[in-house]
Amino acid sequence: MSCYIIEGGNRLSGEVQISGAKNAVLPILAAAATQRETTIKNIPFLSDVSNTLQILKKLGMQIKSEGSTVTAINSINTTVLDKELSQRMRSSVLFLGALLGRFGEVTISEPGGCQLGSRPIELHLWAMEQLGAEIVKNDDKIFCKGNLKGKEIELPIISVGVTENIILAAINAKGTTIIKNAAKEPEIDDLIAYLNKCGSKIRREKNTVVIEESNVESYCDYSVMSDRIEAGTYIAMAASTGGELFINNVNPSNIGIIIPIFEKTGCIIKAYKDKIYVDAPERLYSLPKIITKPYPYFPTDMQPQIMAVLSKSEGKCVVKETLFSARNKHIPELNKMGADIKIMDNTTFEIRGVDSLQGSEVYAKDLRGGAALLIAALGAAGESRIYGTEHIERGYEALCAKIECVGGKIGKAV
Ligand code: EPU
């Protein structure tokens, strides 16, 4: 089993470049299946991205990759999604809307992804039914077909993936679709911007998204937004090591509430047009409460990382996770490093800050939980070994190289 070996206690300092956003590029690649030809730039080199490219190839698309640019030419000859590839990641469910809308039918399998508690897809299927699809489940296959018609759909809960799936289906539906209570994550607006550049007519007003019938199937090139969660993770690494970083190629307005939360821990943060400067004190303060909620509130995808930071702080914090029922597998591992975190119930955690953490042998069980272990290990005394690198590599491009560039001591043993 491969692991990262980290020699903790080195202050990070210098400049780090943020990559294209995983959670923007995955829906945009699914959207490429609805277009004639697209060139997508700023694509991060991640295992989830290469899986998605494999899915596109298995559908019959021609894919040409050059550095961080991918050109996808539509020559799709099947609407049956590869089961094994789909089960590697949650975002494969986005091909449901893309292919159903474009071809009038699709066969998918239950998607995989990080184990964060129950992650059903019933709302995705319900949304397709609202647009007129018929759905038949047969063993582990889900077959959907229908000529879609635009409709007003009010989401019973805010969901990033369901909002994206409706958009992907509705661009090829007859008439206008209106999504009420839509998610507002910047990655959704990046998908909308890509589709509009391809000729779609989609507009957002707060939590309503309106998709007009456009039937455009064209060429466009598009550069994916930068990864706000990767940027937040590097802010957390600076905080954990008392470091000082310039985090380049980010749009600070997308980072939103992450910045004031880190400021409350005592970090000095300056936001520029396309970069963030962070200067962390030697000793961080805790804050009383953090609650994860859909954008623009504190993101669940930063919950494990802020917990790692607050593990080594002055004071007590209660963290409430409201999106996922079991995003807590990093906690026993952080405690192995000397953190004092109690799981009050599966979604409520109490962190009592300690003076220092000790390097240990720990196991990443999911992507962001793994990032939290890295953050803790960089700020801990002595050596850590973090197993489960495959989870972390789903979401962080060139991780070791970026950390080494700013003075962290990290290697990978395979
Ligand atoms: N939900 C249902 N039924 C459904 C769909 C969703 O109950 O049919 C629930 C989920 O179980 C969850 C809530 O709705 O409790 C919100 O989940 P959402 O659908 O918004 O999540 P997602 O689209 O599956 C994306 C990101 C996740 C991120 C969440 C929340 C991608 C590829 N994934 O997932 O990213 O945590 O939104 O912001 O965009 C990550 O990057 O580490 C990651 C897990």
pLDDT band at 114 (very low <50, low <70, confident <90, very high): low
**Ligand 1 centroid from CA 373, angstroms:** 22
Query: What mean pLDDT, rounded, does the chain reach?
Result: 95
User: What would you report as the CA-atom Rg of the chain, rounded to the nearest whole angstrom?
Assistant: 21
Is the CB–ligand 1 distance for residue 329 below 6 Å?
no
Give the end-to-end CA distance of the chain in Å, rounded to a whole number.
7
324 CA closest ligand 1 atom index:
15
Contact 386, 367 (CB under 8 A): no
Does ligand 1 have an atom closer than 6 angstroms to the CB of 268? no
- The residue whose CA is least distant from atom 16 of ligand 1 is 159
Burial 128-141 (b: 16+ CB within 10 A, else e): bebbbbeeeeeeee
Q: What is the pLDDT of residues 221-265, one digit of tens each?
A: 999 999 999 999 999 999 999 999 999 999 999 998 999 999 999
Q: How far apart are CA 263 and CA 344, in angstroms?
A: 27
Ligand 1 centroid to Cα of residue 408, in Å, is 32
What six digits make up the tokens of 216? Answer: 């455009």
Q: What number does the ligand 1 atom closest to the CA of 294 have?
A: 38
Percent of the chain with pLDDT strictly greater than 90: 92
The per-residue pLDDT for range 326-376, each reduced to its tens digit, is 999 999 999 999 999 999 999 999 999 999 999 999 999 999 999 999 999
Residues 269-318: tens digit of each pLDDT = 999 999 999 999 999 999 999 999 999 999 999 999 999 999 999 999 99
Q: Name the residue type at position 237.
A: M
Q: What is the DSSP string of 177-236?
A: EEEES----HHHHHHHHHHHHTT-EEEEETTEEEEE------EEEEEPPB-HHHHHHHHH
Residue with tokens 């957002």: 204
Distance 323 CA to ligand 1 centre (A): 8
- Per-residue HEC secondary structure of 143-185 comes to EEECCCECCEEECCCCCHHHHHHHHHHHCCCECCEEEECCCCC
The pLDDT of residue 240: 98
**Residue 110 scores a pLDDT above 90:** no
User: Can you tell me which atom of ligand 1 is nearest the CA of 161?
Assistant: 23
Looking at ligand 1, which residue's alpha carbon is closest to its atom 15? 323
Q: Which residue CA neighbors atom 2 of ligand 1 most closely?
A: 120
Testing ligand 1's pocket by substitution, the residue of 46, 116, 159 carrying the most ligand atoms inside 8 A of its CB is: 159
> Can you say how many angstroms the Cα of residue 297 is from the centroid of all Cα atoms in its chain?
15
Task: Answer yes or no: 114 catalytic.
Answer: yes
CA distance 11 to 240: 9
Atom of ligand 1 nearest to the CA of 121: 8
pLDDT in the model for residue 119: 74
Catalytic residue, from 3, 114, 198, 220: name it: 114
- Which of 90, 78, 101 is CA-nearest to residue 51? 90
Residue nearest to atom 25 of ligand 1 (CA): 160
Q: Is 90 in the pocket of ligand 1 (CB under 6 A)?
A: yes
User: For position 379, what pLDDT does the model report?
Assistant: 98
Q: How far is the CA of 159 from the centre of ligand 1 (A)?
A: 6
Report d(CA 146, CA 126) in Å as an integer: 13
**pLDDT number for residue 282:** 94
